[in-house]
Amino acid sequence: MTATITILQDDITQLKVDAIVNAANVSLLGGGGVDGAIHSAAGPELLDACKKLNGCRVGQAKITPGFRLPARFVIHTVGPIWSGGASDEAQLLASCYRSCLDIAAVHGFKSIAFPAISCGVYGYPVDQAAAIAINSIADNLQNCVDLETVYLVCFAEPVLKAYHEQFNCIKGVL
Ligand code: AR6
């Protein structure tokens, strides 16, 4: 069975799923944006767990429990900082989604929720990031045999619009 991709506007910290994805930085020691929101909602145990991970490279991902979150786990990934598009940003962003889905597959997760990685402080153009997110997820779903639902969680209206536009563009080929 192939998982369903669902786009929704919500606060990712409120979702009761197997794993939410955190758009972190290489230190994995917290920050602003969705990272700050996840750490606040999960409680200080999350920072303690992150301290044991020794950071994370751009495009890769690491997992912790969700602690006080409704989600059971947090998959921390580090998106690329947008610097014009010629520094492998697209490959690195696609790698974030693939690495998170690899972890979800290993753990047999049924549900996972992604924020718009790199679309905030890291400045990735939202239309391009939305296309990469949807294509990368679609390309890697076949490896996730247990996965039933992938949520693409938009906080801000422009991101929601970009996801819907990109989703409609590629729906025919999925
Ligand atoms: N739920 C869902 N999406 C959210 C939430 C939320 N609660 N809060 C923000 N967003 P950003 P980045 C959206 O900046 O660009 C941190 O300081 C937000 O509207 O959180 O990957 C890290 O520590 C935007 O669309 O992540 C890094 O240093 C998206 O999440 C750096 O920011 C991503 O915005 C990472 O930057």
Does ligand 1 come within 6 angstroms of the Cβ of 162?
no
CA of 144 to the centre of ligand 1 (A): 25
Q: What is the pLDDT of residue 15?
A: 98
| pLDDT per residue as tens, the chain (174 positions) | 689 999 999 999 999 999 999 999 999 999 999 999 999 999 999 999 999 999 999 999 999 999 999 999 999 999 999 999 999 999 999 999 999 999 999 999 999 999 999 999 999 999 999 999 999 999 999 989 999 999 999 999 999 999 999 988 876 555
Closest by CA position to 111, among listed 147, 145, 77: 147
pTM metric for this prediction: 0.97
Q: 4-172 belongs to which CATH class? A: alpha beta
Does ligand 1 come within 6 angstroms of the Cβ of 75?
no
Q: Is 88 among the residues known to form the active site?
A: no
Domains in the chain: boundaries: 4-172
Q: How many residues does the chain have?
A: 174
